[in-house]
Chains A and B, each alone.
Chain A
Amino acid sequence: MQDEEELLKAAIRGDERALSRLLQHHYPFLFQYALKLTMNRHRAEDIAQDTMLKAIENISGFQFRAKFSTWLLTIASRLVIDGARRRERERKWLRKEEAEWTNRGAESRRMKDWPHALQALGELEEQVRIPVLLKYYYGYSQDEIADMLDIPAGTVKSRLHAGVKRLRKELADSE
């Protein structure tokens, strides 16, 4: 790929071809991240697509404070967290417990063939799973994660601790 910084500068100026090349290059990485966040192929495709739409809308505001891939991960993470909050609100509002359990059942059926470790990861709430993935799989620092998710660094730390503790417990129980 042509130099990413040059492509970014052109994309910020409104060059559609440059932006297309950037998105094309980063799509596999973005999709794989979304798959780890959602543990569901269809939802991952939706998240990756929505992330690209947001990136197209906001590329003129990109400020080179982070890498383009980090910016995409930030958008995807926030979309997943917002989606989870919305679903939670809807669940509270509707109070249709039966529907909720049907959905959860479908989710766990989809995940039942996955390895134990990924099942356990999928059981964590999005707010916990995302910092755990960003820290321990993608190697971001706590401060970077706090910036990406717009939460205090202390919250990141406690979610990391709680997340790994639960994973350890889940995997110990399943062994």
Chain B
Amino acid sequence: MSRRHHEDKDLEADRIWFERHVGQELAKLDADSEPSPVRIQDMERFVAEHKRHVKAKLRKELAALWLIAVILFCGMQWVVERSWIWFAAFQSAAAIGGIMGAAAFYAKGLRAWKKR
């Protein structure tokens, strides 16, 4: 008999055992723990409030991003007016950082894909 067949038989035996010893208790738990129904008006309020909260959070994050971009842009303007060498050094460092970040992101994605 193949190993696969053995494993399938083991799984089936486990399923039957679980059903008999634990499954019935879980079914009783389900029957006893039916939550009180949620009114549709309450659910609509819950959804609307959370969507508002998420939108407000996104607006704040966008504002923070713009602020950082403006600060960086002004900073780089200031640097380029004083020294081309420093400007080139900052730009190179940013490019290297960007490439390393992208490589790390790609490697993480690849690991996750291989794990499947």
Contacts and interface: CB of A to CB of B under 8 A. Distances in A.
Given A56-B50, A115-B25, A17 B18 contact: no
A121 B23 CA distance: 11
Interface of A: 16-17, 19-21, 23-24, 27-28, 31-32, 35-36, 41, 52-53, 56-57, 115, 117-118, 120-121, 132-133, 135-137, 146-147, 150-152, 160-161, 164, 167-168, 171
B47 A23 contact: yes
Given A31-B33, A32-B34, A164-B18, 6 more contacts: A16-B47, A17-B44, A23-B43, A132-B18, A152-B115, A167-B21
A27 B22 CA distance: 24
Interface of B: 10-11, 14-15, 17-19, 21-23, 25-26, 28-30, 33-35, 37-38, 40, 43-44, 46-48, 50-51, 54, 112, 115-116
Contacts of A117: 21-22, 25
B6 to A, nearest CB: 12
Interface of B is mostly: helix
A36 B115 contact: no
A20 B47 CA distance: 6
A151 B10 CA distance: 22
Contacts of B43: 20-21, 23-24, 27
